[in-house]
Each structure stands twice: as C-alpha cells, then as structure tokens.
C-alpha cells in the first residue's frame, strides 16, 4: 500500500425527576448520581492499581456495594454499543437474582441496560472458576457489527485492564461509529484497515491543538492511550495525497511515533474538521469524556488544492482518560 509502513498495515447525571411524587422520589436521582461518581472514583483507583500489573479478572458481586459499583460501570459504558456484560453465579437462579439487584441500582431511564446483561451458571462459565465460589461479573465484547451500524474501513480495538474480564488478561473492546468510551491509564488501542489497495491512508492522534502523533509509525501495534489528555484520533483514506495531511506526516517523519507540538496551523480539529461548527465536515465533536466515531463521509475537506472527492472516507474518535471523571 503506497505511503503506508508495514506496521501501519498490521495495526493501522442521570436526569432529575422534575415531578417527584414523594420526598424519596426526589432524592433518588441524587443517589444514582452518587453511585455513578463513586463508580468513576472506584474505576480510577482500580486503574492506579492495575497500571503496573496490567491484568484483569471478573468483578466480585458478593456484596451490595459490589453490585452498585458494577451497575455504575454498566452506566458508564452505556454508549459503547459493542459492549455486553455477563453475571455468573453457582446457579442460574443466583445469577438472575444478582441482575435483579443491579436493576435496583439503575435509574428508570437506564433500565434498558439490563438487556445487555446475560446470566450464566458456573457450569456454563468453564473458563471462570470464580463463579463456583460466588457471583461475579465481567465485560464481554460484541465482535459482530450490528447490521444497522455505519460501515467503516477502519477497525479500532481498545484493551483496558481496568475493566473486569473473563480471563486474566484484558478483553479487546471493538469500537463502532458513534460509540462513547472512557479509557483507563493502562489502556492501549490497536488500529486495522481494510480498503482499496491504491488508497493513501492517514492515522493521527491529537491532544492539544497541533500536538499530534503519527499512529502509523508508533513503535508498538498496541498503542498506549494519552496519559493525561483527551485525544482525537483521525483515520482517513484518500485516493490522492492530501496536502494538509501530507504536511503533517512530513513534519512527523522523524518522530518515531512520538507526539510533537506542530503549532495551531496544523491543528486537526480546527483546520481540517471545522473550527467552531460543533459538527464538523465529517466528525461529530462531543464532550471530552466521550469517544465518537462518525460514519464514513465522501467529502472534500482540506485546502483548495485538494482534488474534489480525493478524501473519500474519514473516521474520528475522541478518547478521554477516566481519571479526569473524578
């Protein structure tokens, strides 16, 4: 693939009740907010404990506090359409009882999230020995893309050891367009591409305006997330070299995948994706605690000397360290 390295080929508040019927109903949203905040703090603390060991395991659901934290995780990752959850216990009835308890910790508007939680008996979870001792839960990736989801030539997977998983290692979370995903400090992501052989492809990550790294030249296919700042990931396919993106690639040629401050003249979000428009030419800009991939778009984006329709597809994602949610 022209212009692409071998490594690039291989990687590439809950709502308040405005009409409460009782004093307890008026207090219920605050309880859910407290639970969600506690979950974010809990997850951030777990992140600190797992940064060095980078291991994952099922979450213990033996106590009500454990169940409340797990319910908070389900809410926190509710906008990731390709994440499901499993609750396992010595018996199927025990697993169903835990799921019913999870529902008690979800506000009414989030009860639909229980559809993403699957009960299992320990006998049906042969790889999770902890289920024989008591109820446990973990995140389960949904690898198949929904038929209604927008297609994209790029694939992005996030491995986060802070999330409970069925095994000793982190599960790979596939991202889909319009998904939102918090990421832990020890998380990594991997990028893949399937498209026209004759295409020019670009893969950049930007934190502050103009602070960019070339993901195609990252020294490892498992790319660490930005440690402290939100990062926009821009993945683009072009039929011909795109001058604006080629200029960024050239400026980063000797960086070895490290981030350089190229200045605001090279800012991806401001100069390529549209300054101050809220929804850019081909990216939906959202709050910094979201991760969003837009649907592919046929558009002419960059400078006036870019041939029309050369930039035939882009996908953009925004990742935020979960510690910032404390």
Is 264 part of any domain?
A: yes
The confidence score (pLDDT) of residue 318 equals: 78
Question: Is 159 part of any domain?
Answer: yes
- Structural domain contains residue 17: no
Q: Three-class SS of residue 273?
A: coil
User: What confidence score (pLDDT) does residue 294 get?
Assistant: 42
Domain end among 141, 176, 197: 141
Amino acid 118: pLDDT: 97
Give, in order, the Cα–Cα distances in Å from 249 to each of 60, 168, 267, 274, 310: 46, 38, 13, 20, 17
Q: Quote the pLDDT of residue 202.
A: 92
Other CB atoms within a 10 A radius of the CB of residue 25 amount to 11
The pLDDT tens digits of the residues spanning 300-326 come to: 344 434 433 456 788 877 787 887 655
Confidence grade of residue 103 (pLDDT, cut at 50, 70, 90): very high
One domain for residues 166 and 193: yes
Instruction: State both tokens at 21.
Output: 């019927």
CA distances from 46 to 53, 106, 169 (A): 11, 22, 15
Residue 258: domain span? 6-12+151-325
- Ramachandran angles phi, psi of 256, nearest 5°: 65, 30
Task: Say if residue 152's pLDDT is above 60.
Answer: yes
Question: Which residue, among 187, 155, 182, 185, has the nearest Cα to 171 in the 3D structure?
Answer: 187
Residue recorded with tokens 């990742």: 319
Burial 274-294 (b: 16+ CB within 10 A, else e): beeeeebbbbbbeeebbbbbb
The number of folded domains in the chain is: 2
Whether residues 310 and 162 share a domain: the answer is yes
CA distance readout (Å), 228 to 43, 208, 263, 291, 305: 16, 11, 19, 15, 36
* Distance set, CA 250 to CA 211, 217, 231, 238 (Å): 14, 12, 21, 16
Rounded to the nearest integer, the mean pLDDT of the chain is 76
Residues 130 and 156 in one domain: no
Q: Measured in whole angstroms, how far is the alpha carbon of residue 42 from the centre of its chain?
A: 18
pLDDT tens digits, residue range 62-76? 999 999 999 999 998
Two tokens, residue 247 = 């200029």
The predicted model gives 248-256 an average pLDDT of: 95
Q: Looking at the structure, tell me whether residues 63 and 156 fall in a common domain.
A: no
Q: Would you say residue 53 lies in a domain? A: yes
Tokens linked to 147: 């038929």
Same domain for 159 and 91: no
pLDDT tens, position by position, 29-83: 454 444 445 444 444 444 433 333 445 689 999 999 999 999 999 998 888 888 9
Position 176 confidence tier, pLDDT thresholds 50, 70, 90: confident
Listed residues 88, 111, 141: the one ending a domain: 141
Percent of the chain with pLDDT over 70: 67
Domain for residue 250, yes or no? yes
Closest to 291 measured CA to CA, from 167, 138, 171, 176: 176
Residue 228 lies in a domain: yes
Quick one: 38 and 104 in the same domain?
Answer: yes
């Amino acid at each position: 693939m022209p212009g692409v390295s071998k490594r690039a080929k291989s990687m590439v508040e809950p709502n308040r009740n405005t009409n409460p019927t009782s004093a307890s109903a008026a207090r219920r949203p605050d309880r859910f907010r407290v639970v969600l905040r506690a979950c974010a703090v809990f997850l951030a603390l777990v992140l600190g404990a797992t940064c060095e060991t980078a291991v994952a395991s099922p979450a213990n659901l033996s106590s009500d506090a454990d169940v409340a934290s797990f319910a908070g995780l389900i809410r926190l990752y509710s906008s990731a359409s390709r994440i499901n959850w499993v609750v396992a216990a010595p018996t199927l009835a025990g697993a169903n009882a835990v799921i019913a308890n999870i529902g008690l910790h979800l506000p009414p508007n989030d009860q639909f999230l229980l559809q993403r939680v699957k009960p299992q008996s320990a006998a049906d979870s042969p790889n999770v020995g902890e289920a024989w001792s008591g109820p446990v839960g973990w995140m389960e990736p949904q690898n198949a893309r929904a038929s209604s989801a927008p297609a994209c030539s790029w694939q992005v997977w996030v491995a986060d050891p802070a999330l409970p998983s069925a095994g000793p290692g982190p599960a790979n979370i596939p991202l889909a367009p319009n998904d939102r995903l918090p990421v832990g400090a020890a998380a990594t992501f991997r990028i893949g591409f399937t498209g026209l052989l004759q295409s020019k492809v670009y893969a950049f990550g930007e934190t502050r305006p103009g602070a960019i790294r070339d993901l195609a030249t990252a020294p490892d296919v498992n790319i660490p997330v930005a440690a402290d700042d939100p990062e926009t990931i821009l993945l683009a396919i072009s039929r011909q070299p795109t001058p604006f993106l080629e200029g960024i690639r050239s400026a980063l040629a000797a960086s070895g995948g490290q981030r350089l401050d190229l200045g605001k003249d090279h800012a991806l979000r401001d100069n390529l994706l549209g300054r101050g428009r809220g929804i850019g030419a081909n990216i939906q800009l959202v709050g910094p605690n979201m991760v969003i991939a837009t649907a592919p778009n046929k558009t002419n984006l960059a400078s006036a000397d870019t041939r029309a329709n050369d930039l035939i597809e882009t996908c953009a994602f925004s990742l935020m360290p979960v510690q910032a949610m404390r």
